[in-house]
Amino acid sequence: MSPTKRRTILFTVTAVVSLFLDQWTKVLARADLKPLASWRSVVVVDGYFDLRYSENTGVAFGMLQQLPGGRILLSLMALAALALVFHYLRRTDPRQTRLHLALGLVGGGAVGNLVDRIIAGRVSDFIVWKYHGHEWPAFNVADAALVVGVCLMALDMMLDRRRTAAPPEGARGGR
């Protein structure tokens, strides 16, 4: 299999799996968590991890919920981000496996939240992390895929920068 074909398959499989997991868990959350009161959580790991349904008309972690025309604007922003992901994917070296995986996560996460925004005008969130009494705003699998994808992209960039900055093997430095 050619490296270019492998790049496309890795990206596509990662994007489709993250999109499927996102939409599947949102269906479960709407069916099982939405009927509960919005303040009521299902404790998974006491003090660390709960499930609690909420709906978000803004972006990740509840930001920009009161944005006028937000549904259209945020949908257009997601489409633009997806176009950038495809553009960047085409420009990558076919051997950059970690980057293709990262772009697949970003693409799948963007599409997952875009589907919600187009169909319902809001995104379903249900994962709540807690740490030492502090609670992270509710999020979903698409948000997690986006964050992990962006972190992998940053890691790839840092490692690439370090690789290109390193002197050639056998080179001597200084006097």
Q: Please give the positions annotated as active site.
A: 125, 143
What's the CA gap between 108 and 60, in Å, rounded?
Answer: 15
What's the CA gap between 37 and 40, in Å, rounded?
Answer: 5
Q: DSSP letter for 54, please.
A: E
In DSSP terms, which residues pair with 47 in a beta bridge? none
Cβ atoms of residues 58 and 68 within 8 Å: no
Q: What is the C-alpha end-to-end distance of the chain, expressed in Å?
A: 48
What's the CA gap between 77 and 75, in Å, rounded?
Answer: 5
